[in-house]
Amino acid sequence: MLTIIRERLRQKHRTTKYPKIEPVLPPRFRGLPQISATLSAPELAAAVASCPFAALSDREKKLQIDLGRCLFCADCPASTEYGALTFSNDYRLATNRRNELLQEDEIYLLAEKLDKKMLKLFGRSLKLRQISAGGCNACEADINVLGTLVFDLGRFGIQFVASPRHADGILLTGPVTKNMHAALLDTYAAIPAPKLVIASGACAISGGPFSGSPEVHNGIGDLFPVDLYIPGCPPHPYTILDGLLRLLGKI
């Protein structure tokens, strides 16, 4: 017992002070993309065609990136050869609507809090059932990290539960494979209304690198109404936490 107490005193208080204090992320962290240059027509066409995940598109002769599809790999010519696309250190990526993930050079719209009725229900206590619908476990791992003493998700009144009947909503990861489709529908049906739906990661939002495969549903798609989209591959724990806190009006 004395050894445990001594070690605890040595480690001191290790829980982050976020959101009161902004986190310090490493310089190599790839956050919110910025469209920083104008491309010629041939360069734009080459950049759009080069993305294997169809995250880049030509919108009125301007480069547009779909954060719901982007894997933040930074391997496309738009970022390496032409310098039109750069990745900032901004971890704040969550939005309320799918079309808000389509980013050009305008201000990025972050998630807003729930309406007054839903906020009254879930603002102080939110229980989520996490569903891995064919994910690679990268998104799941960063979600699990939120339960450690560094992030201490429970201090915000947010917890993950085992039974959907005890949940207020689902947090989905993975591209929704065929063998998880029925399980996802059953889990959603078992959650009492009103309920929330959160799609975390490129796979859950659009199918990610598996988009177009006959074995997946291309993410959550139109299965349920989604309250929060958290892009990334995988989303950083701070990105997930920021989105959840914004949804509950705590930021």
* Domain that residue 120 falls in: 116-247
Note the pLDDT tens digit of each residue in 80-103: 888 888 899 999 999 999 999 999
In a domain, 221, yes or no: yes
Q: Classify residue 250 as exposed, middle or buried by CB count within 10 Å of its CB (0-12, 13-18, 19+).
A: middle
Q: Is 76 inside a domain boundary?
A: no
Q: What is the CATH number of the domain that holds 142?
A: 3.40.50.12280
Assess if residue 69 is contained within a domain: no
Which pLDDT score, from 0 to 100, does residue 99 have? 93
Do β-strands 228-230 and 33-35 pair in parallel, antiparallel, or remain unpaired?
A: unpaired
Whether residue 14 lies inside any domain: the answer is no
Domain count, the chain: 1
Residue with tokens 């998880």: 180
pLDDT above 90: residue 61? no
Residue 107, domain member (yes or no): no
Q: Do the domain assignments include residue 191?
A: yes
Model pTM score: 0.92
Residue 88 falls within a domain, yes or no?
A: no
Residue 150 lies in a domain: yes
